[in-house]
Structure 1
Amino acid sequence: MTFIFQKKQKISTLRLREDPVLETTALNTLKTTLGQGQSRDIVERAACEVSDRLCRLDSALSNGDLARAAKIAGGLIGISEQIGLRSFAVVARDLVGAIHANDYVAIAAISRRLIRQGDANLFHAIDYVSNQS
């Protein structure tokens, strides 16, 4: 009996992390128009709203309610664009498209990406309006 040994290949691990991406023009416009205090309050309220909607989106998807999930994701687009989260809005738009196409694999992947982007970007937006002078 003969055994053939092959060199093991290294297995790479993919990181599932989203780096924050802000469009600072929208945030700077808010700060210029309303001042740092009010702009921070608006961004904090928007961040809470986005967080709440992400929870409702996750619940709708878990329950298989795609119509509700598409509506929630559509609402996320408008809110996120107003506070400079354009890349988040793009992912939310992608999710709406996947839902309308009934592409369940894409829905699962895109919804997870949307949650990761929300985690990365919301606190970054609040930090930006709080610390910029």
Structure 2
Amino acid sequence: MKTYLTPVKDIERKWLIVDAQDKVLGRLASEIATRLRGKHKANYCTFQDVGDFVIVVNADKVRLTGKKWDDKIYRHHSGFMGGLKEKTAKVLLEQKPEELLRKAVRGMLPKNTLGRHQLKKLKVYAGTEHPHTAQQPESLEL
């Protein structure tokens, strides 16, 4: 049995808009990652990008449960000795509210070129305004 390969010109991509206000971060991120990968479609293929574009508004009003605001730590290293940088979720929300959701979704996508390509279809905004009205996004209730 052969694997069906959808021709690139036949892939239909929708633009979806999600309101993140009072949504739990992990549950929201997993649903967004599913839409970005295209796993909700019948023509889903593991090695092809068939997913939709997702616009997230109100990313600064996302929720975390328990004590994760203080206990959850985001780390990155500069590459130099002693270059480990750490930020808690609360600090990251104050400085870059879009990055909190983007990092959560990024962790749920494949760690390869395809995953990086799929992440580019995610547009995250802290407020209610976004510049993608020309694409006529459909509202997605989660």
**Shared fold per TM-score greater than 0.5:** no
Q: Which structure dedicates a bigger proportion of its chain to strand?
A: 2
Q: TM-score, normalised by structure 1?
A: 0.27
Rg larger for? 1
Identify the structure with the greater helix proportion. Answer: 1
